[in-house]
Amino acid sequence: MAADPAAAPQQPEDPTNHGLRVVVAWLILSAIATPLVAIYVGPLIPPGNATVQSQGQTFSNQVMTTLITPVLCLMVVFFAYGLARFHVRRNEAIVDGPPLRDDPRVRILWIVITTAMVLFLAGFGTYELLKDGAGGGQGPNPISFPANHKSAFQVQVIGQQWQFTYRYPSLGGMESNQLVLPAHSVVAFHVTSLDVVHSFWAIELGVKADANPGVDNVAYVETKNPTVFHVRCAELCGLWHGYMFNNGRVVDPPAFQAWATKAQALFASIKGFVNRDQPFRLHYLPQPYRRAG
């Protein structure tokens, strides 16, 4: 039989200011946790600083992680306080508190704070995204570039089931299964695919660009010091998708030249076969500056 709500026992008036307690605990926890997160978690946040773009992404991730720490603290304090203060002990009757109706202060504060946070993050994210070209594939006509993009070193990234091939137009169209890049250079990746949709994800470089058949998807990065990075396909592309990975290298310019000379010699015997393939050249010859002029 359902209980009559009117007859339900009411809790006696509680003089404790629970809201104030939660706010004070939240402020104290946030003041401790936020700098700790910034100092100790911040440096561990990917993708690292192998390129100017990945450094920018790391900074954005650090800012957002630091900003959400007080939000997380509020949730933790709110739940912890509620569980500790308002739980019903064994053999205790469950009594309901007084009903909560509208509180304009809470409503206005909630709208103002959440709106400010969302708008700030949208503005910050958009600015950071456009600042250095961001390393994401921007299609055939990118709208944002890193400085010196016109002299960018071009590399075509050709996805196929289930490997990436790297084509170097400035080295006579030489192709390699190794991705080697000169240090301290602006690089333009022209990402495409021979068959299904893949995704070129050069993790530590801060690049993730879709590889679509017939599309020249351009992504810029500016390399820094020599390093090793990982490349993975980030789009489920068939049975051996998980096998589709490489290690790439950023090397000093003399080491790059030495590698290029050696790779070109290896490539010489098949060069004729590769260049003979007309549809390949029509689809995959980069035309990166159509829009920029």
Which chain residues interact with Cu ion by CB under 5 A? 198, 233, 237, 244
Residue 69 or 217 with smaller CB distance to Cu ion: 217
- Quote the least distance from Cβ 162 to Cu ion, whole Å: 6
Q: Name the packing angle between helices 52-86 and 18-36 (round to 10°).
A: 150
Q: How far is the CB of 242 from Cu ion (least distance, A)?
A: 9
Side-by-side strand order, sheet with 186-193? 174-176, 163-168, 153-160, 186-193, 217-222
Angle between helix axes 104-131 and 52-86 (nearest 10 degrees) is 160
Q: Which is nearer to Cu ion, 132 or 216 (CB)?
A: 216
CB of 244 to Cu ion, least distance (A): 5
CA dist 136 to 166, 187, 211, 221, Å?
A: 18, 13, 12, 9
In the complex with Cu ion, the residue whose CB is nearer, 207 or 237, is 237
Phi, psi (deg, nearest 5) at residue 200: -85, 110
Identify any residues that bridge with 265 across adjacent strands, giving them in sequence order.
none
Closer residue to Cu ion in complex, CB, 194/255: 194
Question: Shortest Cβ distance from residue 198 to Cu ion (Å)?
Answer: 3
> Cβ 250 to Cu ion, closest distance in Å?
23
Q: Which of 154, 165, 141, 173 is nearest to 276 (CA)?
A: 173
Q: C-alpha distances in angstroms, 178 versus 175, 227, 247?
A: 9, 14, 8
Q: Which of residues 241 and 283 has its CB atom nearest to Cu ion in the complex?
A: 241
Enclosing H/E stretch for 248 = strand 245-251
d(CA 19, CA 237): 52
Nearest residue (CB) to Cu ion, 241 versus 271? 241
Min dist. Cβ of residue 199 to Cu ion (A): 7
Distances (CA, A) of 76 to 72, 82, 84, 173, 279: 6, 10, 12, 57, 58
